[in-house]
Structure 1
Amino acid sequence: MSNSSSPRPAAPPTVWAARGRHTGTAAADAVRRNLEKLKADDVIHSHLEPDDADPADGHVFEARWSAPGEVTVRARLTLPPRHNAAAEQQWVLVAEAEEPWDPRWPSPATVFWPPEAGSGWAHEAGTGLRLGEVNPLPDDDKELRRVLRHAVRDTWCVHLVVHEAMTPDERGRGTLVRLLPEGLRHRVVEHRAAPHRLRAVNWVLDDFGTRVPRGGAVVLPGALAAPGYDAQEFSVRSVFLDGNEPTEVLDAVTRFAALPRPLPDGADAALTALREQWHLMTLEEELARARELVAMYAEALDAMTKSRDLYREAAERANEALAAYRETGAAGALPAQKPGRAATGSPFQQLARGLERLKGTALSLRPGSAPVEGVAATPRDAAQPEDGAARSADGPGAPPPAGD
């Protein structure tokens, strides 16, 4: 299931997306030859291999054609770079139509890849299982868990699990996917469980809230299942593998593929590249794009002009406010205060000066100083005011002045 805490938006109904693996060699040459053949047969309008594609994207192919009803379809196939020459080639294909996608339209995969069996491109990207063919589930339990867990968590393909109630004959061994609409055949992986493997299969599927009925089939929910997904609605009780058309199974797969699900992991980047890096444009489309660019540049220029005017107006108001402040300050400015003297000398000298000031204050409060208001003077103080002052002036032991 999805690990994202916030729900992702549903994929546009006009988009068809698929991812796979090419097991052969020279995948780019195979695509190039098939596009040239379809262009010569007037099946597609045009195709292109852009020269300015990012080397990190590998080979990029574009194609344009018309679906039934003259609906224009644009598609982009990307072949990412391989880590080594022996590695299999991955591919991502995204197509977008002018109208909601109809599953009865031709598969975009057959526009880029040759439709012949054994071409090597119709393999699921994660496990390498074949698209459009029967894939027997492995007998090994460990390998069985790996395949089914990937099938449940896959975001690109629709996985169908069919249990064989008994070993089918030659007619029953044929794939059911071939009976699906053409636009779904390369997006569905069909798994077949042998008659004796039902318990092992359901033991793995129980962890994901779904089961395959005995002799029936079930469409696995996938990592990005719709919120209203119900396993019972996409399971079939009985599937007769006798060569007849299993209507219920085909209906379940078609309904599940039509659910509004988010884009697969990585398909959003591929869709953005299709829309923003498209090269195969008609003359009308180039003209419309040029008009969009002109309108965008005009809006940007208008925004810059408005920003400039606002900045100029703000600067003028600031200058006016500054001039008014200066006039007000010149008319009623306060006199500048004299700065205080900075302290000079060492800390010991400053301490000595402070003690001298305290000494003078203490001497002024000794007897002989001015009487305190409200306290009567003693006779001695009243009789000898000058004498005390004279002694203080002449020093101790000096005789009184003559004529005293």
Structure 2
Amino acid sequence: MAKNSTSSTTVPDTAWLGRGRHLGPEPERDVRRNLLALKAARVIDDFLDLDPVEAARSTDLYPRDESADPGPSARRLFEARWRVADDVTVRAQLTTYEPESRRSKGEGVTWVIAAEAERAWEASWPSPATVFWPDSDQVPWDETVPEVRLRTTNHLPKDDDELRRLLRACTRQSWFVHVVVHEAMTPDALGRRPITAFLPPSLRHRVVELRATPDQALIADFVLNRELGVGIPRGGAVILPPTPRSFDYDAEHFTIRNVFLDGTEPTKLLDRIKEFAALPQPLPADAEQVLTRLRQGWHLLDPAEELAHAQAMVTRYAKALEAMTASCDLYREAAESALDALAEANSGTGVPRTPSTAPSKEDSSPWKSFAKTLGRLRGPNPQGPDTEVQQHPPGQ
């Protein structure tokens, strides 16, 4: 597992992160079927299907961090391991979550993916999204916010307020790159094909494509300027700035004046998207937890990791046994010292012996017992230890 030291505010260059919602009835079944098929085809080395509660209790390869627990709303945890570029190992986790409420029909099941490679991630590698989810239009797993999906074009709403809400939802603490394209004229079937289809596999599921219709040129430009400080030219496109901004975003550089939607590859726009995605992206707080879980809550060990884990456990138990033995020795020494001190105190003349609870016949008089008690309270008898206290009956 890569352990690159990176800033907590940006996504590590070894990581791939994704989040979305599955709108179908059985999301976990879709994941299992896809993983089984890929393992049978030897696309992936292995995978695990885990209950989140049991996974959190198990012993892991790395020290556990409480922030790595998936939380009470987690439904299922999947892990997969595969290799890219011949010998580079990739580890990935997908976690599904219960929706916040079931009041809205078709709310869907939230999922998050964190993947990390042993070296810097390359866009040409397979997408971790399609390792877990089937890359089929028949399975609706790719919704990012309500009515916005990956792998397709998403037209902006006509209403101004809805347009503002959509842009805010898409850009605030988003895990994706958002591109707004203006259609200068109504495209044909080839022109309606999403531009994300031309992107490299690993970048394809990190980009959300938003489309403005020909009559939305003014309103789209106005809202973008007001909300994000960028504009969109007629027949062009703009890559929206990250929120929060983790680098010096150049709006002019990431604005493309002309995009021809005729089915051909928009080379200039694609180059800008690749360049933008390669820049340090902000790491949302919830994404940081997902990445921590991947690194410190990993279960799918290969043989070398199993051996290293067993050796680490033996060393850990040996140290624990050594500490327990040392602690027992200290307790034994302390107990022996306490017993010696108690024996010495009991054998000394300065410590009174414990009086017998049964009174003797000579001391059967209550007045004599009272006098002896009073004498002990007053201290040593000044007339000597053998001098008896004169007893006086009542009334004398």
| TM-score past 0.5 threshold | yes
The aligned counterpart of 1:84 is 102
Find the residue that maps to 2:50 and give its secondary structure.
coil
Is there any run of 5+ residues in structure 2 with no aligned partner, and where?
1-6, 57-71, 327-396
CA distance in 2: counterparts of 1:118 and 1:130, whole angstroms: 13
Instruction: After TM superposition, give the deviation of residue 300 of structure 1 in Å.
Output: 8.8
Larger radius of gyration: 1
Q: Does 1:202 align with 2:204?
A: no
The aligned counterpart of 1:60 is 77
Cα distance 1:163–1:299, how it changes in 2: closer, same or farther (>3 A)?
A: farther
The aligned counterpart of 2:22 is 22
The aligned counterpart of 2:360 is none
State the structure with bigger RCO (CA 8 A, min sep 6), 1 or 2. Answer: 2
* Equivalent residue pairs, number: 301
CA distance in 2: counterparts of 1:154 and 1:135, whole angstroms: 19
Would you say the 8 A contact 1:151–1:222 is kept in 2? Answer: no
CA distance in 2: counterparts of 1:9 and 1:151, whole angstroms: 19
Alignment of 1:111-260 (within 5 A): 111-124=131-144, 126-207=145-226, 208-260=228-280
Write the deviation string for residues 381-403 of structure 1: whole angstroms up to 9, x where unpaired. Answer: xxxxxxxxxxxxxxxxxxxxxxx
Write the deviation string for residues 134-180 of structure 1: whole angstroms up to 9, x where unpaired. Answer: 11111111211111222232421110000111222222111101000
Find the residue that maps to 1:58 and give its secondary structure.
strand
Q: Which amino acid aligns with 2:289?
A: A
CA distance in 2: counterparts of 1:255 and 1:296, whole angstroms: 46
Find the residue that maps to 2:253 and give its secondary structure.
helix
Write the deviation string for residues 24-65 of structure 1: whole angstroms up to 9, x where unpaired. Answer: 110011111111111111111111112413554221111111
- Greater Cα offset, 174-183 or 36-45: 36-45
Write the deviation string for residues 205-259 of structure 1: whole angstroms up to 9, x where unpaired. Answer: 1122111112110000121333221111111011111111111110111111111
Would you say the 8 A contact 1:18–1:92 is kept in 2? Answer: yes
Cα distance 1:89–1:231, how it changes in 2: closer, same or farther (>3 A)?
A: same
Cα distance 1:11–1:296, how it changes in 2: closer, same or farther (>3 A)?
A: farther
Write the deviation string for residues 83-116 of structure 1: whole angstroms up to 9, x where unpaired. Answer: 4395311100111111111011010111111111
Alignment of 1:268-283 (within 5 A): 268-283=288-303
Would you say the 8 A contact 2:243–2:282 is kept in 1? Answer: no
CA distance in 2: counterparts of 1:219 and 1:157, whole angstroms: 11
Q: Which amino acid aligns with 1:40?
A: A
The aligned counterpart of 1:35 is 35
The aligned counterpart of 2:89 is 72
Find the residue that maps to 2:295 and give its secondary structure.
helix
TM-score by length of 2: 0.70
Is there any run of 5+ residues in structure 1 with no aligned partner, and where?
1-6, 307-404
CA distance in 1: counterparts of 2:8 and 2:35, whole angstroms: 34
Instruction: After TM superposition, give the deviation of residue 68 of structure 1 in Å.
Output: 2.5
CA distance in 1: counterparts of 2:36 and 2:111, whole angstroms: 19
CA distance in 1: counterparts of 2:238 and 2:314, whole angstroms: 53
Instruction: After TM superposition, give the deviation of residue 118 of structure 1 in Å.
Output: 2.5
Find the residue that maps to 1:30 and give its secondary structure.
helix
The aligned counterpart of 1:366 is none
Would you say the 8 A contact 1:158–1:220 is kept in 2? Answer: yes
Find the residue that maps to 2:55 and give its secondary structure.
coil
- Structure 1 or 2: larger helix share? 1
Would you say the 8 A contact 1:74–1:95 is kept in 2? Answer: yes
Report percent identity of matched pairs. Answer: 49
Cα distance 1:56–1:196, how it changes in 2: closer, same or farther (>3 A)?
A: closer
CA distance in 1: counterparts of 2:295 and 2:218, whole angstroms: 47
Instruction: After TM superposition, give the deviation of residue 282 of structure 1 in Å.
Output: 1.4
Would you say the 8 A contact 1:224–1:261 is kept in 2? Answer: no
Alignment of 1:370-381 (within 5 A): none
Write the deviation string for residues 5-37 of structure 1: whole angstroms up to 9, x where unpaired. Answer: xx9532211110000111111001111111111
Would you say the 8 A contact 2:9–2:284 is kept in 1? Answer: no
RMSD of aligned residue pairs (Cα, Å): 2.6
The aligned counterpart of 1:369 is none
Cα distance 1:213–1:298, how it changes in 2: closer, same or farther (>3 A)?
A: farther
TM-score by length of 1: 0.69
Find the residue that maps to 1:60 and give its secondary structure.
strand
Q: Which amino acid aligns with 1:287?
A: L
